[in-house]
Chain A
Amino acid sequence: MKLRVIISLCSCVLVFVFLLGAGKRSSGPDYLEFKIPEGWPKPPTNIFTNNRLTEQGFQLGKKLFYDGRLSKDGNFPCASCHQQFGAFATYDHDFSHGFNNTLTIRNAPALFNLAWMTRYHWDGGINHIEVQPLAPLTAQNEMGEKIDSILRKLKKDPDYPKLFKAAFGTPEINSQRMLKALAQFTGSIVSSNSKYDKVQRGELSFTANEQKGYTLFKAKCAACHKEPLFTDNSFRNNGMAVNTFLNDYGRMRITNNKKDSLKFKVPSLRNIVLTFPYMHDGRFYSLGSAIDHYRTGIVTTQPTLDSLLLNRIAITNYEKNDLIYFLNTLTDTTMTRNPRFAQ
């Protein structure tokens, strides 16, 4: 009997060692599962269907994201405008700085929960996460570089061919692989651990002010800034006066449709404290002035103004304070300090 137990134990150990060895021998990538936070909706499309998420692909994407060589003069990695401590927006900047002393024409959007989006940019001009980087990489007022030049730089590097091999099986470096790796990194950034999330999960509770703010938020803001993503990812005109220097009419440029004049993507309010200044042109530097826009600033004569804003939004001074208390609970330092997303 005893012998049998020993034999079976030994064979178990042998099998285990064999499996371990087999795992090590295969040099294939380590597949990752994209986890949807509890209680969240499924993403409308799976951005990783044709770009299977792997540890090696994610790590390659991260290295690319932080690599200045993706820009013309080496000074503008993706991360120069998408800073982790600013929830991957540009902290404290209305417009971001680009190659050769230039400015962007819109406020850099925060990069998180991108897997739930089907359109990217303030005007929704980009229809797939993989092709989004082509815009900032090549724009003269952003990274200012050419794709073939970037690929030449990556091919000369001693490490990249190895990293592309680890992620994609062969050392070939091409635009498709570079873009897919970037999508694996940016698409993996999820923000789901703010105080608000902890309250939803029953781990913490709101203060009295936060709770009042939350109640108000649900009544007056949540139609567009829909929980749990705090955006419905739609395009709406929220009634801001046109900046006559920029003359930016938003989504109309993409659709050629007058009905889309002055419509911009509804941004998520997650991490809002970190993503100031606000709106597509960063015109409001404080939460208070952004809320005041909805209370008193909306230009109600614009024909495409969103129907929910025709009468502006009635919010008292007390309510405004409570709302700001609540918006402060949307900051997710688990994401902004996560070493996995850091350089």
Chain B
Amino acid sequence: MKNRLLLLPIFLAIAFTNSSYQKKITAKEKTGTLKITFINTVKGNPLQLNEASYTNPFAEQYTVSKFKYYVSNIAVAFPDGILTEKESYHLIDESKPESLSFSFYASVNTYHSLLFMLGVDSIKNVSGAQTGALDPLNDMFWTWNTGYVMAKMEGNSPQSTIVNSKVEFHIGGFSGADNVLKKLKLNFPAGQALEIRESKTSEIVIEADLDKWWQDPNDLKIANNALCTTPGSLAKKIADNYSKMFSIKNITNNQN
């Protein structure tokens, strides 16, 4: 016991000097609620499944019937470190409005950026049967080559050359050369910070622009690539594009 007490100041010193210090919420600490909301759009207009026809940067028309992606390891950063949501795995599914928002307790503090992973971290891809957002029932799990589909977009396009003019992107792969996992950091707009105050709710609204899937850094025409359902180089190219689809839309502090 005595030895442990001696180690504590050393541990604290290391913890606080390290910029990636992972803060844990203690039982006595004052907390507020952080609500995270995703709004899926196409070029800023709310995404309409099945209804609307969109045009990509290559003048190809398409509709969207499914749009789902995993976000995990959500954290907010303060000057000394980060606060990560516990067991942080969420499936954002445009067809399920309740999936677009979630909340968790955060320490009272001022935060300047949001961090998360787009996809399910590799450890949960190799740890057997999971539940909740990671339940294979959610149709985001490959049964023939173990691993999660990190993001899924399905629809139709007259430019598609595959059966029934389908567009089908199931993007996955968590290890080695096929890894499509993206660690993302979204800085808050200049002059804005996230304030967490005791017993209040603050909200971060994130916009995901589906239009970003087609271009930058990789030009991906539907005419050439209407189908991607295995890990590999095409999946990686699509993931490089879609990793740029997120931006902070607004931050609202201290609602009741």
**Chain A interfacial positions (CB closer than 8 Å to B):** 50-51, 125-131, 134-135, 137-139, 147-148, 151, 174-176, 179-180, 183, 253-254, 256
| Complex Cα gap A300–B132 (Å) | 50
Evaluate whether A148 and B129 lie within 8 angstroms (CB atoms) in the complex, with A125-B144, A256-B231 already known: no
Q: Smallest CB–CB gap between B125 and chain A, Å? A: 8
In the complex the two chains form, is A131's CB within 8 Å of B178's CB? no
- Per DSSP, chain A at the interface is helix
**Which of A138, A151, A180, A256 is B143 in contact with, Cβ under 8 Å?**
A138
Evaluate whether A128 and B126 lie within 8 angstroms (CB atoms) in the complex, with A135-B144, A175-B131, A256-B232 already known: yes
Evaluate whether A139 and B126 lie within 8 angstroms (CB atoms) in the complex, with A174-B131, A175-B131, A176-B131 already known: no
Evaluate whether A176 and B129 lie within 8 angstroms (CB atoms) in the complex, with A131-B136, A134-B141, A256-B231 already known: yes
| Complex Cα gap A183–B130 (Å) | 13
Q: Is B145 an interface residue (CB 8 A)?
A: yes
Question: Hey, which chain B residues are within 8 Å of A125, CB to CB?
Answer: 144-146
Q: How many A-B residue pairs have CB under 8 A?
A: 63
| Complex Cα gap A175–B136 (Å) | 8
In the complex the two chains form, is A147's CB within 8 Å of B128's CB? no
| Complex Cα gap A174–B230 (Å) | 27
- Per DSSP, chain B at the interface is loop
Q: How many residues of B contact A (CB 8 A)?
A: 21
In the complex the two chains form, is B232's CB within 8 Å of A139's CB? no
In the complex the two chains form, is B131's CB within 8 Å of A128's CB? no
In the complex the two chains form, is A183's CB within 8 Å of B128's CB? yes
B162-182, CB under 8 A of A: which get 1 and which 0?
Answer: 000000000000000110000
Q: Smallest CB–CB gap between A57 and chain B, Å? A: 13
**Which of A126, A137, A176, A183 is B146 in contact with, Cβ under 8 Å?**
A126
Interface centre among B127, B128, B135, B232 (most CB of A within 10 A): B128
In the complex the two chains form, is A175's CB within 8 Å of B135's CB? yes
Q: Is B59 an interface residue (CB 8 A)?
A: no
Question: Hey, which chain B residues are within 8 Å of A253, CB to CB?
Answer: 145
Question: Hey, which chain B residues are within 8 Å of A180, CB to CB?
Answer: 128-129
Question: Hey, which chain B residues are within 8 Å of A183, CB to CB?
Answer: 128-129
Evaluate whether A50 and B146 lie within 8 angstroms (CB atoms) in the complex, with A134-B136, A174-B135 already known: no
Interface residues of B in 114-154 (CB under 8 A from A): 125-131, 135-137, 141, 143-147
Interface centre among A125, A131, A174 (most CB of B within 10 A): A131
**Which of A135, A148, A179, A254 is B128 in contact with, Cβ under 8 Å?**
A179
| Complex Cα gap A179–B130 (Å) | 9
Using CB atoms, name the residue of chain B closest to A146.
Answer: B137
Using CB atoms, name the residue of chain B closest to A129.
Answer: B128
| Complex Cα gap A125–B178 (Å) | 14
| Complex Cα gap A254–B137 (Å) | 22
In the complex the two chains form, is A139's CB within 8 Å of B129's CB? no
Question: Hey, which chain A residues are within 8 Å of B130, CB to CB?
Answer: 176
| Complex Cα gap A50–B178 (Å) | 27
Using CB atoms, name the residue of chain A closest to B146.
Answer: A127
Nearest 9 pairs between A and B by C-beta? A130-B128, A179-B129, A176-B131, A130-B129, A134-B143, A128-B128, A127-B146, A125-B145, A176-B129
| Complex Cα gap A174–B144 (Å) | 21
In the complex the two chains form, is A50's CB within 8 Å of B128's CB? yes
A-B contact pairs, 10 of them (CB 8 A): A126-B145, A128-B127, A130-B129, A131-B129, A131-B141, A135-B143, A135-B144, A139-B143, A147-B137, A180-B129
Question: Hey, which chain B residues are within 8 Å of A126, CB to CB?
Answer: 145-146
Question: Hey, which chain B residues are within 8 Å of A174, CB to CB?
Answer: 131, 135
Q: Smallest CB–CB gap between A50 and chain B, Å? A: 7
Question: Hey, which chain B residues are within 8 Å of A134, CB to CB?
Answer: 136, 141, 143
| Complex Cα gap A277–B178 (Å) | 35
